[in-house]
Amino acid sequence: MTITYFLTGANRGIGFELAKHLSADSNNIVFATTRSLANATALQDLNRSNLHIIEYDVTSPLETMKKALVEPFEKYSPNGVDVIILNAGISKDAVRSILQTTEADLQEHYAVNAIGPVKVYQSLFPYWSKKVNPETAKKLILVSSGAGFVHNYYPFPTSHYGPSKAALNHISRHIAFDHTSSELDHIKNSIVVPINPGIVVTNMSEEAVKTFDFEKFSLQLITPEESASSIIKLINGLEQKDNDTFISYDGTRYSW
């Protein structure tokens, strides 16, 4: 059975590992996005016929994002997409107090981490709402963060980054709520889940990793490969009862 995936932020880190793992299965069709094809050398070097790379910036106007999808879907998956993984995100100078953060910091992080996923969802909905595989639930996965827990799961300041991920979690819950009134059974029965990918050692997390002693708080550092393989296993095992829950890469369920 062919499963079609749409993955944002695939040129490095967790996103690249997700693209690599998913496209390793020739039964899958994988659409992987990057802000710049010139910066997606590793992704292109995978050279897989079932991996389709799209230049697609989540901060672009919605109409631009919609136009970027027309040709790839018409050519490679006219029946739409089964699984959406909203992975694109940023974390810049995030280890600050609220007194230290700036309006520009907040605007940039909300634009990418919260508003961006809303626009991706809106641009993809016409394809995701198509009933591709009757025996497979539609899945919408939002890559969130422990920094987005309102009860402050991470014992250090996350200033503009944490609030933007908390907003993403709220957006996830609202999407799940919206789907309950859908006239399409496969959307009403879809699975919408934000995932905490763990504390992953990437360029994006470099500042936090250098600054804080994670072991002191029994917080484990993992690699992008470990995070991605765990996320894929989690996605494959999701059931209807998991809809509208917040889950860690290791399967732990969290309160919001």
Residues annotated as part of the active site = 161, 165
Q: Which residues pair with 222 in a beta bridge?
A: 200
| Beta-carbon-side half-sphere exposure of residue 23 (alpha carbons within 13 Å) | 23
Specify whether the CB–CB gap between 68 and 55 falls below 8 A. Answer: yes
3-state secondary structure 53-108: EEECCCCCCHHHHHHHHHHHHHHHCCCCCCEEEECCCCCCCCCCCCCCCCHHHHHH
What distance in Å separates the CA atoms of residue 120 and residue 5, rounded to the nearest whole number?
13
- The dihedral region occupied by 93, where left means phi > 0, alpha psi between -120 and 50, and beta the remainder, is left
Number of continuous H segments (helices) and E segments (strands) in the chain:
9, 10
What distance in Å separates the CA atoms of residue 229 and residue 53, rounded to the nearest whole number?
20
